[in-house]
Structure 1
Amino acid sequence: MKDTLPQQHRTREHLPWHRVLMAEDIDVVVVGGGQAGLATSHELSARGVEHVVLEATTPGSSWLGRWDSFTLVGPNHTVTLPGAHYRGDDPDGFMTRTEIADHLQRYAGRLGAEVRTGTPVHRLTPFGDPADPSHPTGRGGRGKRGYRLDTDGGTIRSRAAVIATGAYQQPLRPAVLTGLSPDIAVLDVATYRNPAGLPDGSVLVVGSGQSACQIAEELALAGRDVVMACGRAPWFYRRLEDRDLFDWLISAGFFEQRPHELASPAARHGANVQASGARGGHDLHYRTLAALGVRLTGHLAGVADRTAYLKPDLTETIAAGDAGFRLVSGAVARACAREGRPLPEIPPPTALATDAPTELDLHGFGAVVVACGFRSRYAEWIDVPGIVDEQGFPVHDDGESTVAPGLHFVGVHFLRRRRSSLLFGVGDDATATAARIASQV
């Protein structure tokens, strides 16, 4: 009998019987076709492990979701994915979002494994329990264990799966904004595109890290009146003695920091050093923003219709950023000691006024742009209790889940080190995970 139920209303009970009983068996599946997934695919192929990469849209497409003027913050020469090092003619420049996506798409085209585009994974569930609807009774063999992946292209069963869905999955929106007047638009880093796309009026930017500073600067340069509810983030100069900040930090071993070396598990959510790669890379921090006319305030404490309530903590916030400045200065000193070079002169922070209101009248404001970081979405689609900790990070042993053997993670911020999700760090994690999988399958 012909199956005539509309596709959008079909459930598992409505699918043709052969779609329910027959699932595609693939030993290893990589979920995600960004830098983490592609690097893992490269390393799995190098070890002779057959696998398939499942990508929801197209390789590198998540970069295209950033705002129009977005660029890398690290120099191009730090793009060191296995088999896809930067080979362009501007190693000290900063690729745009489209250039990054193009780089990853070319990388995907050179891989030996199949990359299935337009194949989002909606749910991942362990199988092996006879009560599970997907318990393999056919060619998989009763008793075989692994993971069932429900995709738009059907069901896949795998012995091992690598979750490489990106470090920046879901923008965080503070709950305090729920009381905001509906007449004021609220955007985050996934929906903001450019100043012209915002309603007329002043703009409140909430956040402290690289994205918040870059968006606030862009708005100010476009002539918008900008107020910034500041958080605590370290800052430093883009260059010292014509050497980029990233090169200093890499040399100092800054990005080798491991999770257990942090003050607390929550510190993994801490903001990165304020910096920008726009227009060739330049200094960007609270002092440069204030010089552009951005009005700095303390943390956003609450909103009631058209009034924003702000904490009287701007002095402490600036002091925390300056403490971060001193930490980076110490990293520069360590780099010099390692390389046997003299310590360059590091100009101290200049004075910055910290008088700020505790209430802000939002009449005349057209938009609020939220740039408060990201959180993971793993628990929304991976059906494994305890898969993440209280902060939303995977609970793992060297990248493999401790509650779901055979389920691996790559591209997670601070997975193994500070650089685990970065374009010059994810390759090492991909290599380690591929070697682990090869030894198991």
Structure 2
Amino acid sequence: MDDRGLPRERGGTHPELHDVVIVGAGQAGLALSHELTAADVEHVVLERERVAESWRGRWDSFCLVIPNWTVRLPGAFYGGGDPDGFMSRDAIVRQLVGYAAGFRAPVREGVAVTEVHGDPHGGFRLSTSAGPVLARQLVLAVGGYQKPHHPPAWRSLPDWAHVIDAEDYANPTLLPPGGVLVVGSGQTGCQIAEELAEAGRRVHLACGRAPWIPRRVEDRDMISWIEETPFFAAKVTDLPDPRMRLLANLQCSGRDGGHDLNYRTLQAIGVTLAGHFLGAQNGVARFEDDLDASVAFGDARYDDICQLIVKCLERNGQHVPELPRAAPFVATPVTQLDLSGVGTVLFTSGFRPDFARWVDLPEAFDAMGFPVQHDGSSTAMPGLHFMGVHWQRTRKSATFLGVAEDATLLAERITASVRGA
């Protein structure tokens, strides 16, 4: 071993070599490591910072939006006393740290992978903060989205505006005084807008197209009803357009035991709703007059889910719950906002893949930056794999609900490849 704790080949002049290198120690990387460990496949997990680092970076009040019973890590399905609750940020971190320790995951924290290249002799060459590493098989488990997305119009904001991304938000007390313009209305945008409004901030929310669900129906969490259907098992090929992979997740909240959270509930607590953010001119933000269309889109997606639940339950002879209808929506959306009274513009408009910045394998990614893969294995680059990618296999792939299935299948494929080499 060298003074960094890394194995060193004879003479200390060559890169270390591993059968499998996993980049990233979140739930996806750890789940795969668990399965490879069980199969006695030699591997290492390189983590830029600490285990579960992406969860550590969420805002202070963050908690899961899907219930605890959906936490299904390989060999460690949720077994706590609150299956219908929603784990806090810190509880999620403790869960993953304990999980890694439980099977002695070969994680090396503080090792950043800065570049990945194909090796001319086969496999992959990684440049890391701890020196070069060679991998016969490489798994990128850094999530599907790594780069905050801003609509192009964000560049029109005045230089004096305090602009941050969701990953920079911790709690209302750390923001400058004044109102807050939240741009983006998926789960994150809605949760932060609600928290800011409850803290007494004047909040404007630039809304887009996002589906929503009620939190509970007949004393069951709505997610448990949806799981009775093929919704979470849907594949990219089931979508009318692959771009729908970027559609926001279902609007609802797990905070304070879980509750409804959507445009109607936000409006009721005083959040001012607007349409899509168009940009700013002379210190005034402008918005598209399309709020009604966005609300109608979300209502239509909720109706789709209701119809799916009814169809599946009736077909199986099961009890069909009384699913609530969308309440009437009446709003007078703002189309302009004087930014002089806004202390912060907070973007929660999603993330995009960013593999191309550090992975020099351009043929492995499509025009949108997503991996060209099937069930987690690259179809363009033998030996390259992915875990935790949105829609890797199904809609649930990037969640705790789907990680065990994906890890088991990918580990079987990698194990066969390593042993057949």
Q: Report the 3-state secondary structure (helix = DSSP H, G, I; strand = E; otherwise coil) of the residue aligned with 1:92.
A: coil
Quickly say closer, same or farther: Cα 1:162–1:338, change in 2 above 3 A.
farther
Aligned match of 1:131: none
Summarize deviations over 1:53-112 as a string: whole Å, max 9, x none.
111111112101011100000111110110222121111110011110110011111224
1:254 Cα offset (Å) = 0.9
Give the counterpart of 2:375 among 376, 398, 402.
398
Inter-partner Cα distance in structure 2 for 1:221 and 1:78 = 29
Correspondence 1:363-374 to 2 at 5 A: 363-374=340-351
Listed one character per residue, the Cα deviations across residues 409-432 of structure 1 (whole Å, up to 9, x for unaligned) are 010010110011100101111111
Q: Which amino acid aligns with 1:337?
A: E
Contact 1:50 1:113 in 2 (8 A): no
CA contact (8 A) 2:57 2:167 kept: yes
Aligned position for 2:3: none
State whether residues 301 and 311 of structure 1, in contact with CA within 8 Å, keep that contact through their aligned partners in structure 2. yes
Q: Name which of structure 1's ranges 97-106 and 113-122 shifts more when overlaid on structure 2.
A: 113-122
Q: 1:291 aligns with which of 258, 263, 268?
A: 268
CA distance in 2, matches of 1:37, 1:289: 36
- d(CA) in 1 for partners of 2:157 and 2:143? 30
Aligned to 2:161: 184
User: Do residues 337 (structure 1) and 329 (structure 2) align?
Assistant: no
Who is 1:133 aligned against?
none
Q: Give the aligned partner of residue 81 of structure 1.
A: 73
Hey, what does 2:301 align to over in structure 1? 324
Instruction: Give % identity.
Output: 48
SS at match of 1:26: strand
Cα 1:338–1:96 change in 2 (3 A) is: farther
Q: 1:346, CA displacement in angstroms?
A: 2.1
Q: Which residue of 1 aligns with 2:196?
A: 219
- Identify the range of structure 1 (85-94 vs 336-345) with the bigger mean alpha-carbon deviation: 336-345
> Does structure 2 conserve the Cα–Cα contact (< 8 Å) formed by 1:179 and 1:305?
no
- How big is each residue's C-alpha offset from its partner over 1:217-269, in whole Å with a ceiling of 9 and x where there is no partner? 10111111111110011111100001101111111121000001111111000
* Alpha-carbon distance in structure 1 between the residues aligned to 2:224 and 2:316: 12
Deviates further, 169-178 or 74-83: 169-178
Partner of residue 179 from structure 2, selected from 202, 208, 211: 202
1:272 and 2:249 correspond: yes
Distance 1:191 1:117 in 2: 22
**Pair 1:314 & 2:255 matched:** no
- Structure of larger gyration radius: 1
Q: Which residue of 1 aligns with 2:362?
A: 385
What SS class does the counterpart of residue 197 from structure 2 fall into? helix
What secondary structure sits across from 1:369 in the alignment?
strand
- TM-score normalised by L of structure 2: 0.94
Letter in 2 for 1:36: A
The verdict on how the C-alpha distance between 1:114 and 1:342 changes in structure 2, with shifts beyond 3 A counting, is: closer
Change (3 A) 1:324 1:19: farther
Conserved 8 A contact 2:376-2:410: yes
Q: How many angstroms apart in 2 are the aligned matches of 1:57 and 1:235?
A: 34
1:68 to 56, 60, 63: 60
Aligned residues: 409
Q: CA, structure 1 residues 167+98, in 2 after alignment: closer, same or farther (shift >3 Å)? A: farther
Q: Could you say which residue in structure 2 is the equivalent of 1:104?
A: 96
Q: Distance in 2 between matches of 1:278 and 1:159?
A: 43
Equivalent residues of 1:41, 1:113 under 8 A apart: yes
Task: Please say if residues 249 and 335 of structure 1, whose CA atoms lie closer than 8 Å, have aligned partners that are also in contact.
Answer: no
2:225 alignment partner, one of 229, 237, 248: 248
Q: SS of the counterpart of 1:356?
A: coil
| 1:122 matches 2:99 | no
CA contact (8 A) 1:19 1:154 kept: no
After TM superposition, the structure 1 = structure 2 runs for residues 52-63 of structure 1, keeping only pairs within 5 Å, are: 52-63=44-55
| Partner in structure 1 of residue 4 of structure 2 | none
| The one of 381, 406, 414 aligned to 1:437 | 414
* Equivalent residue for 1:40, pick from 28, 32, 37: 32
Q: What residue is the counterpart of 1:136 in the other structure?
A: none
1:380, distance to aligned residue in structure 2 (A): 0.8
Alignment root-mean-square deviation, CA: 1.5
Alignment partners' CA distance in 1, 2:260 and 2:315: 25
